[in-house]
Amino acid sequence: MSNKQESPSTVDKKAGTTERFSSAGFILAAIGSSVGLGNMWKFTYVTGQNGGGAFFLLFIACLLIVGLPVLMGELAVGRAGRGDAVISFSKLSGKKWWGALGFVSVVAAFLVMTFYSTIAGWTLHYAVQSISGALFESTDYQAVYDTFTASTAPIWWQIAIFIITGIVIAKGISSGIEKFNKIVIPGLLIILVIMLVRTLTLDGAAEGIRYFLYPDFSQLTFTSALEALGLAFFSLSLGMGAMLTYGAYVEKHQSLSAATLAVGAGDLAYALIAGLIIFPTTFTFGIAPNSGPGLVFVALPAAFAAMPFGNLFGGLFFILLAIAAITSCLALIEVPVAYLMRKYGHGRTKATVFVMIAMYVLALPVTLAAGGALSDVTFAGRNLFDWLDFVTSNIMLPLGGLFVTILVGFVWKGAGEETGMKGWWLKAWLFSMRYIAPILIVLIFLKYAGII
Ligand code: TRP
């Protein structure tokens, strides 16, 4: 998700990277990074599994109280460090071992790519099926989904995602495809609003909206708190060094608080609209809202089938979502690639080929676990896909965020100045970074681990 095609000349040994975003370019890129499969696919299925409205409130609370302060922290750390998570962590803390904490983010990005590419592949398949009309030949979209995920087709679609991503990287047109985001993100919004008009007039709309927006706290379990926190991190692209790396390309005079608010508002808006589309649809067509990672792929075809020109809208929607997902894949790959290039002096091509092959070795069994041959191979109730989805979002990303709060709150003294904030806002932010965000993260971890 960025212009990190740096030739050596753009990385100064002392000053770090010398590449810069334009102001508007940065805000768009940051919103582009946060809006993706996380809002449509993950947000809706996790909310559905956690009973709806009360979980949505919890998600908003996590976004505001922990997510936005950490986002601001990542941007500040990146801008002051002018490099990837590992180097910026050690530079600003003044201690080399802090780099090891930054390394958690690099591993998280690597692992997220393995299942993110699975879902991105599904999106491509659904785009093709929607345009050809084949998707609408049956009305039992659950059966269509089950048959598709149990077949070998997802493997090929995932390979397609790897190949497309690889070509984009090899051609170095990453900055070109990033410009796509300027079309894709507003384009998705337009289609979503059109869909919204349809889904809000479905028979089950009232019931769906009530499920999504009316908080019924009896639906929450303790794991919900962990999942809401993890989802907020995933959705804002936090805890894996991605926003931090973006921060490295931001001009000093740009307002980080304005960027933080824009990204938070954009991300929340897409999640809200996604929920307002999915839940009325599930209630109208008798789809269980807690049916898991397949939710949007079962619900959306039903919504498109109920719309005029549904196959065209469906095709367009899934293509835009696939492009949004591919741009996220580029950013995810870039995190370990940037690390390898700097650490071992590999060239970009060598580092990319190495990272992509290593990713694919893990991505293949992950795809087979998502409805395919390995889906019944479980360990403590979760298969490989579920484990990676769960551990990265709910453990590794909050942990990456925790390190940022400690660095900003206690170790690096220049954080306040870097943000350019003053007075009450600055105090509130520092207070959150020192006490509220880290304590909440730790409490949720301890409680989940059964220690308190
Ligand atoms: N936030 C993205 C989404 O909602 C997913 C994501 C998480 C991501 N971390 C990232 C994308 C890092 C790019 C880079 O889909």
What pLDDT score was predicted for residue 311?
87
Rama region for 380: left / alpha / beta (φ>0; ψ in -120 to 50; rest):
left
Q: Indicate whether 17 belongs to any domain.
A: no
From first CA to last CA, the distance across the chain in angstroms is: 40
Tokens (6 digits) for 78? 């990146």
**What does the pLDDT read at residue 119?**
96
Distance 267 CA to ligand 1 centre (A): 11
Alpha helix stretches (DSSP H) within 286-347: 295-305, 310-344
Q: Is 278 left (phi over 0), alpha (psi -120 to 50) or beta?
A: alpha
Q: Where residue 361 sits, what CATH number does that domain have?
A: 1.10.4160.10
Nearest CA to ligand 1 atom 8: 237
Contact (CB, 8 A) for 233 and 69: no
pTM over 0.85: yes
User: Which of 35, 244, 332 has most ligand 1 atoms within 8 Å of CB, for mutation?
Assistant: 332
In a domain, 14, yes or no: no
- For the chain, the domain total comes to 1
For atom 4 of ligand 1, which residue has the closest CA? 38
Structure tokens at 316: 């367009």
Residue closest by Cα to atom 9 of ligand 1: 237
The domain in which residue 286 lies consists of 27-448
Residue 22: inside a domain: no
Q: Is residue 16, in this structure, part of any structural domain at all?
A: no
The answer to whether position 256 is within a domain reads yes
Ligand 1 centroid, distance to 451 Cα (angstroms) = 30
Residue 300 to residue 303: CA distance in whole angstroms: 5
Distance CA 437, CA 399 (A): 11
> What is the Cα gyration radius of the chain?
21
Is 393 part of a structural domain of the chain?
A: yes
Atom of ligand 1 nearest to the CA of 41: 15
Residue 308: predicted pLDDT: 86
Q: Would residue 18 count as lying in a domain? A: no
CA of 134 relative to ligand 1 center, distance in Å: 30
Does 11 fall in a domain?
no
Q: Which residues pair with 17 in a beta bridge?
A: 11
Hey, which residues does 16 pair with through a beta bridge? 12
How much is the pLDDT for 309? 87
User: Which residue ranges have their beta carbon within 6 Å of ligand 1?
Assistant: 1, 33-34, 36-39, 234-235, 237, 240, 242, 328, 331-332
The region that residue 382 occupies, defined by phi over 0 for left and psi between -120 and 50 for alpha, beta otherwise, is: beta
Cα 424 to ligand 1 centroid, rounded to whole Å: 31
Residue 138, sorted as left (phi over 0), alpha (psi -120 to 50) or beta, turns out to be beta
Q: Are 197 and 205 in contact (CB under 8 A)?
A: no
Element (H, E) at 178: helix 174-199
Residue ID of nearest Cα to ligand 1 atom 13: 328
Q: What is the mean pLDDT of each run of 10 residues along the chain (452 residues)?
A: 46 76 86 92 96 96 96 96 91 95 93 96 94 91 95 96 88 70 86 92 95 95 91 95 91 94 96 96 94 94 89 89 89 86 84 93 95 91 94 93 96 93 94 96 86 75
Please report the atom of ligand 1 found closest to the CA of residue 324: 15
What confidence score (pLDDT) does residue 10 get? 64
- Tell which atom from ligand 1 comes closest to the C-alpha of 37: 15
